[in-house]
Structure 1
């Protein structure tokens, strides 16, 4: 299998039409005709993930997040005065590593919809984006649960995703309907309210939006953008195997410790 064939197979799993217009999905660096020697799956395309891919004998890095959304002015070795994506593209080309990204098209997949709630023992019945059309791909998922408190939800979430949760809303408020959104919640909190959700579990949200949603009755549990989306690497690895790459040539790169909590001894 060559790189172009792998890209086409991944687009069959996560159609490009499902990606946002501003997104950059698919092959961003590399030769489509190069044979796939091995694949490393990572959340982010960084020089560190390239290093790990090469160490594991992979010449393809499949990521969730694109190398960049806005292209840097130049592609050069790492330097404080340039965005990190500049060095990532430079190093990928220099080392002969292709980079393929499946971003908002993966976010809208049924695989993403079901995986995040499943880690907490819940089942998503439909997407948040198209709640009245369960068969349609869409951002997020909506789950029903026996009544639990916001505090219990936050504790379960931080255990399932191996992180520390930040929760907005009364700790003793009861939750029966939960929305899940990977990455950043953005404007999807409004849909969660519209569809009668009591809480939303997501990666990140700005202060004023989180405060506003909590005051309007939607509790918000924040886990960190990277922590809630690292499980998507398993989705990418499974799709790569389904495309025909041998399991022993597929590797998942662990999430690096990019941020931490001092009260927990430097471990987020």
Structure 2
């Protein structure tokens, strides 16, 4: 076992708070640092479903990628969804910690896990963080065995087990993909970096209509194949990687804490229309 404080320290060695965006709210948001932890649960989001699963697993600490609070909070009364989550955690002695944009930039971090899930060998950050150690930064650039654009799209869908929203792609599929950039979660801001790197495809999420058009117009035939595989699907691989790393880090300190990656799906997109003419 270990204390919440010991686990937080181990996590923040991996996911330094100073790597987070200024607007982000990472770290311990609920719980007593001196409390003892025998089980850590992992999820992308702190929702009622994930909290219930964490408590059922006997977890005293829930680690999420997305912070519960990213805007001003004036109440945690049970009249709000987030208030109910907080009260449920406190009532059951479960702490809450999040590693968000600091985990996005870590090495290994969210994009390394995505690259490995896609069998892409990560080589370097897509956008290196100035002033940080080599390898720290947003996204990853890597290599993959040659395949056509359509084959790579299908490969992404199969590797990530994407939900009903599926995988969307913008740009020409009439190309051979050997170099790939990836960025777990919302990575539209790094499209220009992917284009400058000359990659054949860029896998991320939350690419808007206007951003896709702008990129295709700006870079023409040099634009990477833009693949939007969904926010949840592109970040979920990190959970298992991070849990395994925490086991190793705590073991080096002589502590053993059980890790549980929760099965709850927090992807809000749960259905799509059936195309006309299809069953």
Give the TM-score of the pair, scaled to structure 1. 0.89
Paired residues in the alignment total: 260
Distance 1:261 1:171, change over 3 A: farther
Q: CA deviation at 1:195?
A: 1.5
Secondary structure in 2 aligned to 1:246?
A: coil
Against the structure 1 CA distance between its residues 146 and 242, is the aligned structure 2 distance closer, same or farther, given a 3 Å change threshold?
A: closer
> Aligned equivalents of 1:131 and 1:89: distance in 2?
33
For 1:7-34, what per-residue CA distance to the aligned partner results, in whole angstroms no more than 9, with x for missing partners?
Answer: 0111111111211111111100000011
Gaps of 5+ in 2: 275-279
**Is contact 2:148–2:177 with CA below 8 Å preserved after alignment?**
yes
Determine if contact 1:31/1:98 at 8 Å carries over to the other structure.
Answer: yes
Indicate the RMSD between aligned Cα atoms, in angstroms. Answer: 2.3
Q: 1:239, CA displacement in angstroms?
A: 2.9
User: Does the residue aligned with 2:185 lie in a helix, a strand or coil?
Assistant: strand
Asked if structure 1 preserves the Cα contact closer than 8 Å seen for 2:239 and 2:261, the reply is yes
Q: Which residue of 2 aligns with 1:254?
A: 263
* Other-structure match for 2:277: none
Aligned equivalent of 2:40? 39
CA offset at residue 188 of structure 1?
0.6
- Assess, with a 3 A threshold, how the Cα gap between structure 1 residues 168 and 131 changes in structure 2: closer, same or farther: farther
User: Aligned equivalents of 2:129 and 2:86: distance in 1?
Assistant: 38
Matching residue of 1:14: 15
Gaps (5+ residues) in structure 1? none
Distance in structure 2 (CA, Å) of the matches to 1:152 and 1:212: 25
Q: Which residue of 1 aligns with 2:57?
A: 56
Among 170, 173, 181, the alignment partner of 2:175 is 173
CA deviation after TM superposition for structure 1 residue 128, in Å: 0.2
Identify the match of residue 204 of structure 1 among 193, 202, 206. 206
Name the CA distance, whole Å, in 1 between partners of 2:200 and 2:7.
Answer: 41
Deviation at 1:63, TM superposition (A): 1.0
Which of 193, 196, 199 is matched with 1:194 structurally?
Answer: 196
- 1:158 and 1:12 mapped to 2: Cα distance? 33
Q: Is it true that 1:88 corresponds to 2:85 in the alignment?
A: yes
Aligned residue for 1:75?
76
